[in-house]
């Protein structure tokens, strides 16, 4: 079982693995997108408001490094306000991942 700890910017990291910054940021983007789908489409959120806000803070503070997919929808400082726009923009595979992620239990 992985050992997760809360990071200074919010979110969690696995102490047992060395992970590149690009992978960490991509994971945050994925969790944001999955969360949007679960909340706005299924009305069944996985994350607390605080955890979602942590992810948004990470994305906002690294806006220039975000994929164009995010930057084309919202300008800096507006990620949380435009989150609902991402809910219906997931591929079938991303929806599958969101549903799988919904069932993961963190201990």
Q: Which tens digits make up the pLDDT trace of 27-50?
A: 999 999 999 999 999 999 989 999
E-strand ranges in the chain read 4-6, 12-14
Backbone angles phi, psi at 16, to 5 degrees: -85, -5
Give the pTM.
0.79
| Cβ 15 vs Cβ 5: under 8 Å | yes
Residue 107 binned pLDDT confidence (cut-offs 50, 70, 90): very low
Cβ neighbors of 47 (< 8 A, separation 6 or more) are 31, 35, 55
pLDDT band for 59, please (50, 70, 90 cuts).
very high
DSSP 3-state assignment of 82?
coil
Q: Of 10-14, 43-47, 59-63, 100-104, where does mean pLDDT reach its minimum?
A: 10-14
83 within 8 A of 38, measured Cβ to Cβ = no
Answer yes or no: are the C-beta atoms of 59 and 28 closer than 8 Å: yes
């Amino acid at each position: 079982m992985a050992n997760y700890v809360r990071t200074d910017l919010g979110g969690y990291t696995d102490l047992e693995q060395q992970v590149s910054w690009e992978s960490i940021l991509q994971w945050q983007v994925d969790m944001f997108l999955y969360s949007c789908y679960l909340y706005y489409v299924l009305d069944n959120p996985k994350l607390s408001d605080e955890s979602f806000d942590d992810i948004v803070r990470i994305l906002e503070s690294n806006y220039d490094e975000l994929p164009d997919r995010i930057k084309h929808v919202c300008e800096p400082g507006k990620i949380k306000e435009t989150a609902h726009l991402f809910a219906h923009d997931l591929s079938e595979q991303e929806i599958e991942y969101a549903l799988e992620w919904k069932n993961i239990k963190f201990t």
